[in-house]
């Protein structure tokens, strides 16, 4: 006959069993949650220094549950970096996020309130402190909207002009542009019909009509005013 167990001992055994089970379950739950905490943020498509700055910005997401990190919150953080043109964010379980980036082309630089900014093909002013690579590019003067410069740039590009030979752009309040080329030639464009004027300029270049020419003035419709270097 088995010895009888007192109710007191039985309750004591049950208490220890439940207590030990609770500790085990707590440890298991803790370890389980830790598995899915974000540990690695992998960034591709940018320079080393840009990558470092972006990682610093995203550090707030480290050690947070990967399932609770929303893509839109990551994108909002990345909006600060104007040089970025496209973003692809992918969660890789259990504890990594892979971010593939592409950067915009730099088309020019300008100055806003005394600070240097680059102009991206993505239509954004990019503070020079976000860019760590040297860019040899034209300087744009005047108070203009990026879309106005992009419109001019695209017209010049469509006419196959050598844009890399333009050193300076000057924008005026009446919405017209002067272009200064590396050989010293100045092109004055009208406020309207820029494309037609640039077509005329391209024909003059192709036909070698600009020998010893300093200024091409196309501001007046149906007129070409040319000033020589000696004048």
Quick: pLDDT tens for 132-151.
Answer: 877 889 999 999 999 999 99
Q: Are 191 and 178 in contact (CB under 8 A)?
A: no
Tokens of residue 76, six digits: 């909002």
Length of the chain: 231
Which pTM was predicted? 0.79
Bridge partners of 215, per DSSP, are 186, 227
As a CATH number, domain 138-228 is 3.40.50.11690
Domain positions in the chain are 40-103, 138-228
- The C-alpha atoms of residue 151 and residue 147 are separated, in whole angstroms, by 6
Looking at residue 119, what is its pLDDT?
96
DSSP, collapsed to helix, strand or coil, labels residue 175 as coil
The confidence band for 35, taking pLDDT boundaries of 50, 70 and 90, is: confident
Q: Which residues contact 93 (CB under 8 A, 6 or more apart)?
A: 36, 66
Q: What tens digit of pLDDT does each residue of 192-208 get?
A: 999 999 999 999 988 87
Please give the share of the chain, as a percent, with pLDDT higher than 90: 71
Looking at residue 208, what is its pLDDT?
77
- The C-alpha atoms of residue 63 and residue 59 are separated, in whole angstroms, by 9
Q: What tens digit of pLDDT does each residue of 150-166 get?
A: 999 999 999 999 999 99
The confidence band for 14, taking pLDDT boundaries of 50, 70 and 90, is: low
Instruction: Average the pLDDT over 82-103 and give the result.
Output: 94
DSSP, collapsed to helix, strand or coil, labels residue 38 as coil
Third-level CATH fold of 40-103: Ubiquitin-like (UB roll) (3.10.20)
Tokens of residue 8, six digits: 């007191």
> Over the range 157-186, which residues count as b (16 or more CB within 10 Å of their CB) and which as e?
eeeebeeeebeebbbeeeebbbbbbeeebb
Unique residue bearing structure tokens 């964010």: 89
**Helix (H) / strand (E) containing 171:** strand 166-171
Closest CA to 82 of 125, 52, 111, 47: 125
């Amino acid at each position: 006959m088995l010895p009888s167990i007192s109710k007191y001992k039985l309750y004591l055994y049950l208490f220890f069993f439940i207590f030990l089970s609770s500790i085990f379950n707590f440890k298991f739950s803790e370890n389980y949650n830790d598995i899915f905490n974000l540990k690695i943020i992998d960034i591709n498509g940018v320079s080393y220094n840009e990558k470092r700055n972006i990682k610093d910005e995203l550090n707030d997401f480290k050690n947070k549950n990967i399932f609770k990190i929303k893509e839109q919150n990551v994108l909002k953080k990345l909006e600060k970096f104007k040089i970025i043109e496209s973003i692809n964010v992918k969660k890789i379980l259990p504890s990594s996020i892979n971010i593939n980036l592409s950067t915009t082309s730099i088309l020019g630089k300008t100055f806003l309130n005394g600070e240097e900014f680059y102009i991206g093909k993505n239509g954004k002013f990019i503070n020079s402190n976000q860019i760590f690579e040297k860019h040899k590019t034209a300087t744009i003067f005047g108070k203009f909207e990026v879309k106005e410069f992009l419109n001019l740039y695209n017209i010049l590009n469509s006419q196959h002009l050598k844009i890399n030979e333009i050193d300076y752009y000057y924008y005026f309040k009446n919405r017209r542009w002067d272009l200064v080329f590396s050989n010293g030639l100045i092109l004055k464009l009208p406020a309207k019909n820029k494309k037609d004027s640039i077509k005329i300029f391209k024909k003059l270049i192709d036909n070698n009509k600009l020998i010893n020419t300093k200024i091409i003035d196309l501001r007046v419709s149906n007129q070409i005013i040319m000033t020589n270097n000696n004048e």
